[in-house]
Amino acid sequence: MSARVTVIGTGYLGATHAACMAEIGHEVLGLDVDPDKIAALRSGRVPFYEPGLEELLAKHVASGRLRFTTSYEEVAEFGDIHFSCVGTPQAAGSNAADLRYVDAVIENLAPLLAGRPALVVGKSTVPVGTAERLAGLMPEGTELAWNPEFLREGFAVEDTLRPDRLVFGVRSAEAEERLRAVYAPVIEAGTPVVVTDFPTAELVKTSANAFLATKISFINAMAEVCEAAGADVSMLAQALSHDTRIGGRFLRAGVGFGGGCLPKDIRAFMARAGELGVDQALTFLREVDAINMRRRTRVVDLAREAVGGSFLGRRIAVLGAAFKPDSDDIRDSPALNVAAQIQLMGGNTCVYDPKAMDNARKSFPTLAYAVSAQDALRGAHVVLHLTEWQEFRDLDPVALRATVTEPYVIDGRNALDAARWRAAGWTYRGLGRP
């Protein structure tokens, strides 16, 4: 049954959620305080790259099922189910989460809901205890629920329309019933639903991210051991993947994780554990974070070794700027972090990425940028493969051999065909591989 749904915050999470709510049949009104972003969305344009999202959004903007506004008053009048989808970045000078945007939603919306039978649904990743605090700010007749998101950049539309689970943190049967009605087409398709309390719902997302980060850092720690022992971390990961207790996902060693979720979420998780007096329970996450950051330094060290010990007068091609493929998100990007480190050491770095160039230029204006992978490699003394776009996997190492000054490639994602590059005359160096 169709409902009138609002989505507050139209960044990566909110724009995706709004378009997908329209796709499953609801009338949707999205809100953002940025008028330029709202103008873009009203014209059917998404101000970031996510496969399939712009087409979906444009379709429902054109049909009239999806609209956008900057008015909280219009949001309060429009619907009775309001999804809060704002960001929770890392606070300046602290590992804790910055909750100012989450708080602002409630501060602006709650007074307008007095006397209305509304349900406010938080989707942001927040420290445990946040929902309990916000619930106390709801006016009489309005209820809070927590429904964490589990989106993977590059697969956000699929993850919203066909998630592997839905988690409802609720305090009443009525709130659960209303959420089940909103997600009815998704649930009817077979998606399991976990109904729980506020703190458990909040912990599901932070725990999931902490586990994934731990798994990635584990295989990267094994890569360090493999390099010291002369072993091959890729073959090690393949052998481990056949163990059904472990599985193969997130076991690819490389330059480590980045983005707007895992790094800041594990730090916020540690900070919140300290506030709760159980900081020792998450001490291991400090090493998870440290291993991850060490991988970037390792790539810099390998690159310096490849060019003879000094970056001065050397050209370094960096393939990748986004923190992962199928995204233009450069938040905490390992690729750009490595490029910037090398530049500070005197290297002439040149970066190319299929989708993230505009964002990279805004945040790292002093780096040099190329118009293509071939352009980035021209005259390079070493090539760093740091974001595993399919475009880079498809590069012809034979044709590129004549483009570079030195045919040396460091595969920071262990995603290139090592035998193919070596056969073309390149020195190939993977991470944790002989």
- The angle subtended at Cα 85 by Cα 60 and Cα 258, nearest 5°, is 105
Alpha helices in 64-183 (DSSP H): 72-78, 100-109, 130-135, 156-161, 173-182
Q: Locate all alpha helices (DSSP H) within 230-283, ordered by sequence.
A: 233-241, 262-275
Amino acid at 76: A
DSSP 305-339: HHTTS--TT-EEEEE--SSSSS----TT-HHHHHH
Q: In what order do the strands lie in the sheet with 166-169?
A: 66-69, 27-31, 4-8, 81-84, 119-122, 143-146, 166-169, 193-196
Question: What does the angle CA 67 – CA 71 – CA 76 come to, to the nearest 5 degrees?
Answer: 85
Closest by CA position to 383, among listed 349, 420, 355, 423: 349
Three-state SS at 341: helix
Catalytic choice (20, 226, 261, 350): 261
Active site residue 226: no
Cα separation, 227 vs 378, in Å, equals 30
Q: Secondary structure of the chain: what % helix, strand, coil (to 5)?
A: 45, 15, 40
Tokens 């998606």 belong to 191
Residue numbers annotated as active site:
261
